[in-house]
């Protein structure tokens, strides 16, 4: 059945907050998505996703950041097709064990649990890609962040690529120009780099992702001079200069670790950004200007974050007869 794009006019209370252009480098697939895609086929979907994320969040507050990251890592590698959820098979090495995901990506069981509930009420109807997309939005909202409208109707991919994940996902060790190039290759822009980096207002990073800033920055034998001295001392206690500390965790935003707000940008202004790739936003005049703006205007950050997340969630989507609706998110239907 053909689906029409749902008009914002049906939601006048969203007009001021959510009227923004969606951008996708895949216009045909994008045009087949619909805000009300499951209204008839699975009317309880949104409530099931909301409950599933809430149940996980009340036991593990950190899961909000994990689900948001999982969604980003899915969409950034060949599109939002739930490929990040696939286990390895004889035919392919999946993305779960790619370097950016190995021993760090979390939340798979949350999506699996929600999918199990959805299958009981709406069998073979809702894709894992849509569930992950909705779960990321619910996670942000539970952490105190914005809520944005989402087009639905994605289908699931039937393969995954560890190599693609290793090559396409941005790394905290990369210079800003490389990260920006990866974003623009997906149809995103410099503003999206700054806005989506704001997701680091929640969550944690393993010490190995920033430890070189603490002891021997760029072979100097000294800490990164752009990192505040008091932050260096605190982080050195969390991440001593021994290999066994590599998997220790430090909050990306130590001030409000579990709350989605704009203090991530304040941290950058104050030179206490944790990741080198985050603090690098202050060294480029264009990105620094945006960081300064968001640090003083949380309302603008919320609006722009919703806009950028909506763009992200429409990248490389499969619709119509492409892909499939997986029965279990970790494996392709036989």
CA–CA separation, 271 and 286 (whole Å): 17
Number of neighbours of residue 274 by Cβ within 10 angstroms: 25
* 58-64 long-range contacts, CB within 8 A, separation 24+: 61/143, 61/258, 62/106, 62/203, 62/204, 62/258, 63/106, 63/107, 63/110, 63/139, 64/139, 64/140, 64/142, 64/143, 64/202, 64/203, 64/258, 64/260
SS3 124: coil
CA–CA separation, 32 and 2 (whole Å): 8
Number of neighbours of residue 262 by Cβ within 10 angstroms: 23
Report the residue count for the chain: 334
Which of 171, 173, 135 is CA-nearest to residue 183? 171
Q: Return the active site residues.
A: 73
Which of 104, 97, 70, 69 is CA-nearest to residue 163? 97
CA–CA separation, 275 and 283 (whole Å): 14
Task: Tell me how far CA of residue 62 lies from CA of 33, 123, 173, 206, 274, in angstroms.
Answer: 31, 30, 23, 14, 17
Which of 44, 75, 260, 163 is CA-nearest to residue 85? 75
Residue 170 parent element (H or E): none
Helix and strand counts by DSSP (H, E) for the chain: 15, 2
Ramachandran angles phi, psi of 251, nearest 5°:
-70, 140
CA–CA separation, 92 and 177 (whole Å): 31
């Amino acid at each position: 059945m053909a689906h029409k794009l749902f008009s914002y006019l049906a939601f006048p209370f969203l007009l001021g907050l959510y009227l923004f252009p969606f951008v996708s480098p895949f216009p045909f697939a994008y045009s087949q998505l619909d805000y009300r895609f499951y209204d008839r086929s699975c009317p309880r979907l949104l409530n099931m996703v909301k409950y599933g994320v809430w149940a996980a969040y009340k036991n593990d507050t950190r899961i909000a950041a994990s689900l948001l990251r999982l969604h980003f890592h899915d969409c950034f590698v060949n599109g939002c097709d739930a490929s990040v959820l696939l286990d390895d098979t004889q035919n392919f090495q999946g993305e779960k064990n790619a370097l950016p995901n190995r021993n760090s990506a979390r939340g798979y069981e949350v999506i699996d649990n929600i999918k199990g509930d959805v299958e009981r009420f709406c069998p073979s109807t809702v894709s894992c890609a849509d569930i992950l997309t909705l779960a990321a939005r619910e996670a942000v909202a539970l952490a105190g962040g914005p809520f944005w409208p989402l087009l639905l109707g994605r289908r699931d991919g039937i393969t995954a690529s560890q190599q693609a994940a290793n090559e396409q996902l941005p790394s905290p060790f990369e210079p800003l120009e490389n990260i920006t190039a990866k974003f623009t290759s997906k149809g995103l822009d410099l503003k999206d780099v700054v806005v989506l980096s704001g997701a680091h207002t929640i969550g944690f990073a393993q010490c190995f992702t920033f430890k070189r800033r603490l002891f021997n920055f760029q072979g100097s034998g000294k800490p990164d001079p752009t990192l505040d001295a008091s932050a260096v001392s605190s982080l050195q206690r969390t991440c001593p200069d021994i290999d066994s500390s590599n998997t220790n965790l430090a909050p990306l935003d130590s001030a409000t670790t579990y709350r989605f707000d704009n203090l991530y940008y304040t941290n950058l202004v104050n030179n206490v950004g944790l990741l080198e790739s985050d603090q690098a936003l202050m060294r480029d005049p264009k990105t620094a200007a945006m960081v300064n703006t968001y640090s003083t205007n949380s309302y603008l950050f919320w609006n722009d974050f919703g806009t950028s997340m909506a763009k992200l969630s429409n990248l490389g989507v499969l619709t119509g007869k492409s892909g499939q609706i997986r029965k279990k998110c970790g494996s392709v239907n036989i």
